[in-house]
Amino acid sequence: MKQILVTGGCGFIGRYVTEELLQEGYSVRILDSFIDQVHGDSAAAVPAGVDLIRADVRDKGAVKEALNDIDGVIHLAAEVGVGQSMYEIARYVGGNDLGTAVLLEAMIDTPIKRIVVASSMSVYGEGLYQSQDGTNSASSRRRSADIKAGRWDLTAPDGTRLTPVETDEQKPVDLASIYALTKYAQERAVLIFGEAYGVDAVALRLFNVFGPGQALSNPYTGVLANFASRLINGQPPMIFEDGQQKRDFVHVRDVARAFRLALEQRSAAGHVINVGSGNAYAIADVATMLANAMGVPHLSPDIMNKARSGDIRNCFADISKARELLGFEPRFRLEDSLDELADWVRQAQAVDRGAEMKRQLEERGLVS
C-alpha cells in the first residue's frame, strides 16, 4: 500500500500526516478545499512531490479523480469547532457528514484496501468519572441549572463530587454538540462501509491536538492556538468556566504517526481508537505555562466564569488500546513542547478573534 489519498491534507494535522507518510516512503495525493477560516493564504504550504487536487470533498467528480490509483485513504477533511457548530449547523453537517458520504460512495468501485478517519474525543461528551466508592459513572452530564449557578463540577445523585478518570473507548458516547454529532456520524459511516465492502476501516478519536502550524486566527480551532493568538497580541488567554476543567493535549507529530500506524497495522481494522497523550491538564495551568514560554507571564488568564453551550467539564484519554493495536507511544510531552510552539508563534501572524467568537456565541444565547 503505497499510494495514499489524504483529504484535508493541507490543514494543520494533514500537513504533518503528509510529511510522516512521505518520510516513510509513501506517495501522497491531497484533496483539499482551502477554507479561508482554516488556511488563509496557505497554498504554498503544499509539500514538494505531492499531487494536489484543490476541491471540496462533496464534489463527486473531484473525489472520483482523487481516488484513481489510490491504495489507502486518510480522511481528515472536516469542519472543526464545537462552538461554531452550534449555529452554523448546515455547514458542519454538510461538510462532515455529506462529505464523508460522497467519499465512501466514490470508493465503492475502487480496490482501496484501507481507510482511516479522524474522529474526535468530543463524541464522549463528558469523560469517564468515578464515585467515591470507586464505581465508574459512564453517563454523567451536568445540569444547565448547575452550570448557570457556577457549579462546574459533576456530582453523583447524592450530591458528592465525582472524580474524573481516564476515558477509554468502552465509554458510551454522549453527543453534546453538533460537531460531536457529525464526528460520530463520520466514524460510524466509515466503519459500517468498511464492514459492508470488505475495506479495513479505522476511526481515530483525537484528543486536543497542538503544535506549530495551527491556525492562529481561527478562534474555533485548538485551545492552545487560541491562547497563543491572544498572548502574541498582548491579550490574556480567555478561559470559560473557572479554568480547572481538564483536557488531554497530544502533539501533532504524535497524531501524524498514529495515522500512519493505523494504515499499517492490520489488527486495527474495525476499531475505534483513542489518540491522546494519556495525561490530564487543567486549562488555566496550560494558559499560564504558555504565557511563561512566550515570555509574557504577566498576562494571567481571563477567567470568564461563564460556560459555552456544548462544552464539557473533563475528558482525557486512556490510550491502552492505541498502545496495543498500533504500537503507539506519545513522544512529545506538552511541558517539553511549549518553547517550540512559542518560537513558531513569534514568527507567525495572528489576528486575535477571541472577542469576536465570544460575541457571536453570546448573541445566540450560547454562553451562560
How remote is the C-alpha of 246 from its chain's centroid?
15
Strands 136-137 and 163-164 come out as: unpaired
At 9, the amino acid letter reads G
Q: What percent of the chain has pLDDT over 70?
A: 90
Is the confidence at residue 109, as pLDDT, over 80? yes
Q: Can you give the pLDDT at residue 216?
A: 72
pLDDT at 252 over 90: yes
Asked if the model's pLDDT at residue 46 lies above 60, the reply is yes
Are 233 and 356 in contact, with CB atoms under 8 Å apart?
no
d(CA 21, CA 3): 10
Task: Give catalytic residues, as residue numbers.
Answer: 179
Which of 19-28, 37-46, 183-192 is the least confident region? Answer: 37-46
What does the pLDDT look like over 127-149, one tens digit per residue? 999 998 888 887 788 888 888 88
Distance CA 116, CA 59 (A): 20
Q: Stretch 24-49: mean pLDDT, rounded?
A: 75
Exposure class string for 99-132: b at 16+ Cβ within 10 A, else e: bbbbbbebbeebebebbbbbbbbbbbbbbbbebe
Domain ranges for the chain? 3-363
pLDDT per position as a tens digit, 154-203: 998 888 899 999 999 999 999 988 999 999 999 999 999 999 999 999 99
What is the DSSP pairing of strand 281-282 with strand 246-247? Answer: antiparallel
Residue 327 has pLDDT above 90, yes or no: yes
Residue 137 pLDDT:
82
pLDDT level of residue 296 (50, 70, 90 thresholds) = very high
Using DSSP's 3-state secondary structure scheme, residue 249 falls into: strand
Is CATH 3.20.20.120 the classification given to domain 3-363? no
Q: Which of the pair, 210 or 83, is modelled with greater confidence? A: 210
pLDDT tens for each residue of 112-121? 999 999 999 9
What pLDDT is stored for residue 85 in this prediction? 87
- pLDDT, tens only, 80-91: 888 788 889 999
Q: What is the mean pLDDT of residues 272-280?
A: 97
Q: What is the pTM of this model?
A: 0.91
Q: Dig out the grid coordinates for 140 from the structure.
A: 454523567
Where is 314: in which H helix or E strand?
A: strand 314-315
Q: 215-225 pLDDT, tens per residue?
A: 776 655 678 88
Round the average pLDDT of the chain to a whole number and report it.
Answer: 89
